[in-house]
């Protein structure tokens, strides 16, 4: 049983140190981290497209060739434009939140006219949603970088907490 705890301690320390390192990277270079992940995804998409293209040529399937070419082009585009991908995704989320915030406000004011108690909480929620949506729409890449930094802080807290716990329970690990 002691071997189990020793092995768990080693792997726990390794995971905690990895979380600390990744957390620091995400905090110090969020744009680079986003670009790197998207470029890696782009290479995978490109490889899938090339594989599909080769498969289509060997099977003499025009549809597979066309699909493979489109997937390969998409992968190439993601590799070349990772910032555009992030900004586009954040912009879409911002637009969805904007519509949701407007709907929340409409419902809140309809509830107020109907004499419902607590309508103001729905209005407050709608207003906060609108503000957040505008933040996403007006600065999509900056907002994405902030979220990545927050993820980095979470990883630092997790890794640091894990190391602290392991240090406190040293006799067991």
In a domain, 173, yes or no: no
In a domain, 32, yes or no: yes
> Which domain covers residue 92, as residue numbers?
2-168
In a domain, 43, yes or no: yes
> Tens of pLDDT along 12-60?
888 899 999 999 999 999 989 988 999 999 999 999 999 999 988 888 8
The confidence band for 83, taking pLDDT boundaries of 50, 70 and 90, is confident
Tell me, what's the pLDDT at 1? 54
In a domain, 12, yes or no: yes
Tell me, what's the pLDDT at 25? 93
In a domain, 60, yes or no: yes
The confidence band for 8, taking pLDDT boundaries of 50, 70 and 90, is low
The confidence band for 141, taking pLDDT boundaries of 50, 70 and 90, is confident
pLDDT at 87 over 90: no
Provide DSSP, the chain: -HHHHHHHHHHHHHHHHHHHHHHHHHHH-HHHHHHHHHHHHHHHHHHHHHHHHHHHHHHT-HHHHHHHHHHHHHHHHHHH-HHHHHHHHHHHHHHHHHHHHHHHHHHHHHHHHTT-TTHHHHHHHHHHHHHHHHHHHHSHHHHHHHHHHHHHHHHHHHHHHHHHHHHHTTTT-
> Tens of pLDDT along 61-72?
888 889 999 999
In a domain, 85, yes or no: yes
* 51 torsion bin: left (phi>0), alpha (psi -120 to 50), beta (else): alpha
Tell me, what's the pLDDT at 58? 86
In a domain, 37, yes or no: yes
**What is the tally of structural domains in the chain?**
1
Q: Which of 130, 25, 39 is nearest to 84 (CA)?
A: 39
């Amino acid at each position: 049983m002691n071997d189990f705890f020793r092995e768990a301690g080693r792997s726990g320390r390794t995971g905690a140190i990895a979380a600390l390192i990744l957390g620091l990277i995400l905090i110090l270079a969020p744009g680079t981290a986003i670009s790197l992940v998207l470029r890696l995804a782009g290479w995978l998409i490109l490889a899938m497209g090339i594989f599909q293209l080769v498969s289509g040529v060997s099977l003499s399937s025009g549809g597979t060739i066309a699909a493979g070419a489109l997937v390969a082009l998409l992968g190439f585009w993601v590799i070349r434009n990772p910032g555009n991908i992030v900004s586009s995704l954040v912009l879409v989320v911002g637009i969805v939140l904007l519509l949701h915030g407007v709907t929340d406000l409409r419902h809140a004011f309809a509830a107020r006219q109907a004499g419902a108690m607590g309508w103001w909480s729905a209005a407050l929620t709608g207003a906060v949603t609108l503000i957040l949506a505008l933040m996403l729409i007006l600065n999509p890449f900056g907002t994405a970088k902030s979220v990545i930094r927050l993820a980095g802080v979470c990883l630092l807290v997790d890794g640091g907490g894990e190391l602290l716990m392991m240090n406190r329970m040293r006799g067991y690990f």
